[in-house]
Structure 1
Amino acid sequence: MSKTFTRIGKEIAIAIKEGGSSSPESNARLRSIIQNAKAVNMPKENIERAIKRATEKESESYKEMLFEGYAPHGIAILIETATDNNNRTVANIRSYFNKCNGTLSTSGSVEFLFEHKCYFKIQKTGIDLEELEFRLIDFGVEEVFEEQDCILIHAPFSEFGTIQSELEEQLVKILSSGFERIPQTIKTLNEEQTAEVNKLLQLIEEDDDIQNVFHNMQL
């Protein structure tokens, strides 16, 4: 939970810097992050503290970077980071790949194997699924389906802002939203091979600079 709150705190800082506003009403990305923070039960005071810290002159400046590489047995890995020290992050990630017989690759060598998507989880109370899908299809939505406690919407990464605005205009309650990198093909490994890849994934995910990790190994 602490790791999740730290990740959200960085996202808040980046959203305020890029959006130029600490007000959720005028900063769509910040508004989305606050929704996600509430979805994982991040206390209100933690959210307010992160916003305040991000507006201070001495606040840390985070840079988003994408790393690409291959784990053992040809498993593709994409790593999203938010760092205030690029040299440290590069050195750490390279060391993880080296320790686990992986390869840190050059930009563009892995990213093309994944589809960049956005998603929205919305409250399903009083919503007709077919009608909602019909209304959203012109906004780039690719999938609308019902889960146990919500409705899930999938769309291309580039349509995030448009769909967010449309849902808010329709007064639909957004529970959480974000981005995913979905592998176009999945690789199945045996138990021993899976353990080798998981060793690398665990090292990466424990690093404080890591925001998200995506791979194409069958879980």
Structure 2
Amino acid sequence: MSGHSKWSSIKHQKAATDAKRGNLFTKLTREIIVAVRKGGPSPDANYALRLAIQRAKDSSMPYDNISRAIDKGAGTADGIQLQEMVLEGYGPGGAAILVQALSDNRNRTVQNVRNVFTRGGGGLGESGSVAWIFENKGVISIKAGDRDADELGLLAIDAGADDVTVEKDYITVYTAPQKLEEVRIALERNDIPIESAEVTMVPKQTLDLDEKAAIQTLKMIDNLEELDEVRSVSTNVNFSDATLNTYATAK
């Protein structure tokens, strides 16, 4: 999962940019609304809502925004029905790309996502075409700072993590989805600062691309994530440090 570890660290950095654009809060609001409508407005009794609220807090979403999203999810005045969607396709060089979305108009979302795939040199696939490449995992990102990375990794394993990878000063902790909250709490009790924690799709195996195709894939992912209805994008590409640096510099 080392390729995904690098991707996790840059996704966290990208989140700050998304927040500046304003669309991150829109995505987080949608997640909270759906969680409330599926499991009720009480975080104590609704695990999905607890995770959604924690993600919002991790992204510095104001409390008033979170509260309004919960109220909106609990009410029916707006009449908006959000549908969870999973769209699958291939990017340049055969990269597998899995898109998770929350939409109030399925046809519009499919067309928007299809357009991004097509413009990016890829194509939207059939249901099941790439989903088998991924598995649902809890993913916790930690910046080691002055702490010993190996020590932090052992603490995570002791707390119930399945796997830990280290990329420079970033540590990525993988858990079973239902163990994410438990492991996070255990790490925080040891004064380990959590940069992000989420349940997401992680590739079982990664794919190496040449730099041109890898950069095209990064651009496609950026364009997909700019769509308001897209909540997350996963890929099986193992992005090299050189490629990530080249792409970041060119933006």
Q: Per-residue CA shift, 1:166-196, capped at 9, x if unaligned?
A: 76699948955312322212222233x3343
Question: C-alpha distance in 1, partners of 2:134/2:159?
Answer: 28
Tell me if the contact between 2:95 and 2:236 (Cα under 8 Å) persists in the aligned partners. Answer: yes
Match of 2:66 among 47, 59, 73: 47
Question: C-alpha distance in 1, partners of 2:224/2:187?
Answer: 40
Tell me if the contact between 1:189 and 1:218 (Cα under 8 Å) persists in the aligned partners. Answer: no
| Structure ranking higher in helix proportion | 2
Question: C-alpha distance in 1, partners of 2:30/2:98?
Answer: 19
* 1:133 maps to 2:157: yes
Q: Which deviates the most, 105-114 or 90-99? A: 90-99
Match of 1:207 among 210, 215, 227: 227
* 1:24 maps to 2:60: no
Tell me if the contact between 1:189 and 1:217 (Cα under 8 Å) persists in the aligned partners. Answer: no
User: SS in structure 2 opposite 1:25?
Assistant: helix
* 1:187 maps to 2:173: no
Aligned residues: 208
Question: C-alpha distance in 2, partners of 1:45/1:74?
Answer: 43
Q: Per-residue CA shift, 1:150-181, capped at 9, x if unaligned?
A: 9853123xxx2355357669994895531232
The residue number in structure 2 matching 1:10 is: 30
**Alignment root-mean-square deviation, CA:** 3.2
Q: TM-score, normalised by structure 1?
A: 0.79
The residue number in structure 1 matching 2:75 is: 56
The residue number in structure 2 matching 1:74 is: 94
Q: Per-residue CA shift, 1:133-155, capped at 9, x if unaligned?
A: 3452xxxx312578999985312
Tell me if the contact between 1:72 and 1:196 (Cα under 8 Å) persists in the aligned partners. Answer: yes
Tell me if the contact between 1:65 and 1:81 (Cα under 8 Å) persists in the aligned partners. Answer: yes
The residue number in structure 2 matching 1:92 is: 112
Question: C-alpha distance in 1, partners of 2:232/2:88?
Answer: 12
Q: How does 1:117-196 map to 2 (within 5 A)?
A: 117-120=137-140, 130=154, 133-134=157-158, 136=160, 141-144=161-164, 153-156=173-176, 160-164=177-181, 172=189, 175=194, 176-183=196-203, 184-191=205-212, 193-196=213-216
* 1:35 maps to 2:59: no
User: SS in structure 1 opposite 2:44?
Assistant: coil
Tell me if the contact between 1:116 and 1:182 (Cα under 8 Å) persists in the aligned partners. Answer: yes
Percentage of matched positions with identical amino acids:
32
Tell me if the contact between 2:85 and 2:101 (Cα under 8 Å) persists in the aligned partners. Answer: yes
Q: Per-residue CA shift, 1:86-135, capped at 9, x if unaligned?
A: 0111111122222333211111111112232112468x99xx85466345
Question: C-alpha distance in 2, partners of 1:190/1:169?
Answer: 39
User: SS in structure 2 opposite 1:68?
Assistant: strand
Greater gyration radius? 1
User: SS in structure 2 opposite 1:218?
Assistant: coil
Q: Which amino acid aligns with 1:55?
A: A
Q: Which runs of 5+ in 1 are unaligned?
A: none
The residue number in structure 1 matching 2:125 is: 105
Question: C-alpha distance in 2, partners of 1:147/1:188?
Answer: 19
Q: Which amino acid aligns with 1:29?
A: A
Question: C-alpha distance in 2, partners of 1:95/1:121?
Answer: 31
User: SS in structure 1 opposite 2:48?
Assistant: helix
